[in-house]
A and B are shown apart, each in its own frame.
Chain A
Amino acid sequence: MKRFELIAVLAALVTCSGAAWAEDSVTIGVHASFSGAGAAFAEGMLAATDFAAEDVNKDGGLDVGGKRYKILIKQYDDRYRAADAVTAMDRLMIQDGIHFVVGPMGSAAAVATKDQTTSGKVITMTLAFTPRALGADAPFAYRPVITTGEFSDPQVAWLMKSTSAKQVVSLLPNDETGQQIGVANFNSYAKAGAKLQVEYFERERVDFVPILTRLLMKADGLELGGNSPTTAGLILKQARELGYRGPVFVTGGDVSAEMLKVAGKEAAEGTYVHLPIDTGLPDTAAYVARFKAKYGQNMNGFSPFFYVGLQMLFTAMKKAGSVDDTTKIATTLDGLSDVPTAMGEAGWTGEQKYGIKHQIDLPFYVGQIKDGVVTKVATCDVNACK
């Protein structure tokens, strides 16, 4: 009998300690495509969450209302499929009872899960570039990354002024991202007084010589923004091999390192690239170094944006004095501005464009490749590049 009592007491203690742990923790879900072509983005999102949690936990947890909460992480793969995205989100929300999600990653996933996250009042931090990811009908959806919608107009205007290109051709994959960027870029070039001819190709294509031969005859500019780093590198290399010497613009993504590897220093010389981050900022440089030290590889450019998003979320939780009232936390998050983060002072914008102020407001940059090194040549915000 005594042994039974001892076991019962031990069991009760274990249960109580488990309950105490469960009460004093906040779990952040990571909902992304860990398998397939977008895995690098997903790993970047997970790393950002991991770093944000690590930083909070090493200080004893997130101090909200005089109580300290450990940050835990739960990640699920949506396999880049809309139906799987719904299932993974359901699992995070219902099975795991999570109120905060880093993701969804893809546009289809963001759109497909929008209804469920809105009705479940789950705060999401998406990477989806589609304008439909944000809106007044999705009051809990935030986007901590800067998309084509934000950077296309000011960058293109600056580039057209700097290079005097008038007839630009763009090659894009015939998918959701490609179509999205194609439309945004077409409008931006038109606003800047240039004509953009967009040609779509199937994602698996690697030989661009025929299409480039046809297009480059009458072009004085080549736009590669919206392609994966490898594809951008391939197109650039093949264009240079065909004798194209005009300016090349990569007005989207963080492609420089991989593109240089594929195209080579010579082919990439003079190329203008979009720079999502400024490694000249000490905190950003520290983040890049931390990533490299932990994962042994170069960081995906979107990763620090999610770290910033989480920094803002944690600030909102502290100010709202709650870790579960997502309505209160979202209202507090909406009101945040000039929050000191790893990438400078951040706030929210996008009311005019999306009908809701849930788009991150951070500076971005234009770089130029010179002798294999990317040099910052302009600093931009949503209005202009200087």
Chain B
Amino acid sequence: MTLPTTKPVHLVGVGVAVAVAVLLPWFAPNQFYIHLATVGCINLMLVLGLAIIARAGQLSMGHGGFALVGGYVSALLSMKGWPPLLTLFVAGLVAAVIAAALGWIILRLRGVYFVLVAFAFSQIAVLLALDMSSITGGANGLVGVPPISIVGYVLRAKPQFYPFALGCALVTLLLTWLLYRSPLGTMMAATAENQRLTESSGIDTHRVQVIAFTIGSGIAGFAGALSTHYLRFISPDSYTFWESVSYLTMLVVGGRDGVLGPVVGVLVLTPLPELLRSTEGLQHIIYGTMLVLCLMFVPNGLASLVHTWRARQHVAPANATRVVEEVP
């Protein structure tokens, strides 16, 4: 596989953004900002997972369910003595296996039916967590989930956990970017664009969608586990239907094309509730109004503004050249 090429100016931009994220603990006014950045990293992984599924033309309303499964798997295994660093990956794997099995059956459904079945899965996951109280702790959840440790170095405090969360988010971002540029990514985009036509080209679109659903849900399982070890607590309320809606909102507001959309969505919508947190009941009205305005005026997501600006930059010199050519 050949690595995709990209413009140097883009690389500089990405480099600066990564440098800012890496250096955050040094210039953040206090640890609250590091906490927010950590939550942002976890959200980014979840939204990227959702974006991969959307890339193949499906909308998963069960994303929170897979995060919940991952969270419980990792919490239960690590509480039995397994190393949390290993249980993170086991959690991702379990979520992916469930998604593959479920997806193989339900991804034959189109449109609203898939959305409904995925939603039902997340509800079943919550109900199982509630009712299997001897294993899951029921509604009270699991407390005292062990923190992640790497070669004896325990990631208990915020400044210790943040670099790990950032690393995970950046790796997920890089892998997603590579996936989008690979033949599989192209097949996913083609499936979303026109499934019948793609199938006519000899591509097994059902398989492509199952793979996308498996990868996206596996990432959700991993991120759910990461969040559980960060908060050191999980309960059925940790990932409800509303969390799935939040990730979807981040994806839609940021933009579904490419990896920039999820990044923008997370950067805007992770701190936004913080600005509104002290407004009590009004926050939902303000939040809702902002979302409606955003969807009305930037329907393709905030990241599309960059594409629009870039397109204008290209069109303007081209027009100028044409004018010059037309002038005798």
**Residue positions of A touching B, CB distance < 8 A:** 34-35, 39, 42, 74-77, 79-84, 86-88, 90-91, 94-95, 107-108, 111-112, 114-115, 130, 132, 174-180
Contacts and interface: CB of A to CB of B under 8 A. Distances in A.
Given A111-B233, A174-B130, A87 B31 contact: no
Which of A39, A80, A87 is most buried by chain B, counting CB atoms within 10 A of its CB?
A: A87
Contacts of B281: 34-35, 39
B237 A80 contact: yes
B258 interface: no
B186 interface: no
Contacts of A130: 140
B235 A90 contact: no
A34 B299 CA distance: 31
A286 B130 CA distance: 42
Contacts of B227: 83
B318 to A, nearest CB: 48
Interface string B264-305: 000000000110011011011000000000000000000000
Nearest 5 A/B pairs, CB to CB: A176-B139, A34-B280, A94-B32, A112-B233, A95-B32
B133 to A, nearest CB: 7
A39 B283 CA distance: 13
A345 to B, nearest CB: 33
B30 A95 contact: yes
Interface in B14-63: 30-32, 35-36, 39
Contacts of B39: 83, 87
B83 interface: no
Given A35-B283, A86-B231, A90-B35, A176 B140 contact: yes
Contacts of A75: 278, 280
B112 to A, nearest CB: 21
B35 A178 contact: no
Interface residues of B, number: 30
Interface of B: 30-32, 35-36, 39, 130-131, 133, 138-141, 143, 227, 231-235, 237-238, 273-274, 277-278, 280-281, 283-284
A87 B277 CA distance: 10
18 contacts: A35-B283, A35-B284, A39-B281, A42-B280, A75-B278, A76-B278, A77-B278, A82-B233, A83-B39, A83-B231, A87-B39, A90-B32, A95-B32, A107-B140, A108-B141, A111-B140, A130-B140, A132-B143
A86 B30 CA distance: 16
Given A35-B280, A83-B227, A90-B32, A132 B235 contact: no
A178 to B, nearest CB: 7
Contacts of B278: 74-77
Contacts of B138: 176, 179
Given A81-B237, A174-B130, A91 B31 contact: no
Contacts, number: 92
Contacts of A175: 130, 139
Contacts of A95: 30, 32
Contact of B36 (A79, A80, A87, A174): A87
Nearest to B39: A87
A179 B137 CA distance: 11
A132 B231 CA distance: 16
Contacts of A90: 31-32, 35
A82 B238 contact: yes
A94 B143 CA distance: 23
Given A87-B39, A112-B231, A76 B277 contact: yes
A76 B139 CA distance: 24
Nearest to A178: B139
A227 to B, nearest CB: 15
A108 to B, nearest CB: 5
B280 A108 contact: no
A177 B172 CA distance: 38
Contact of A82 (B30, B133, B237): B237
B31 A108 contact: no
B39 to A, nearest CB: 7
A120 to B, nearest CB: 10
B140 A115 contact: no
A90 to B, nearest CB: 5
Contact of A115 (B35, B139, B232, B238): B232
Contact of B238 (A35, A83, A91, A177): A83
Nearest to B242: A81
A137 to B, nearest CB: 9
Nearest to A202: B127
Contact of B31 (A74, A94, A174, A177): A94
Contacts of A132: 140, 143
Given A77-B280, A87-B36, 5 more contacts: A77-B278, A82-B238, A108-B139, A108-B237, A114-B143
B59 to A, nearest CB: 23
Contacts of A179: 130, 133, 138-140
Contacts of A77: 277-278, 280, 283
Contacts of A91: 32, 274, 277
B26 to A, nearest CB: 16
B293 to A, nearest CB: 21
A176 to B, nearest CB: 3
Nearest to B141: A108
Nearest to B35: A90
Contacts of B237: 80-82, 108, 176
B280 A111 contact: no
B34 to A, nearest CB: 9
B238 A81 contact: yes
A82 B238 CA distance: 6
Contacts of B141: 82, 108, 111
B223 to A, nearest CB: 12
Nearest to A81: B237
B138 to A, nearest CB: 5
A148 B278 CA distance: 31
A114 B139 CA distance: 17
A180 B231 contact: no
Given A111-B143, A175-B130, A179-B133, A87 B274 contact: yes
Nearest to A114: B143
Contacts of B238: 81-83
A44 to B, nearest CB: 13
B220 to A, nearest CB: 15
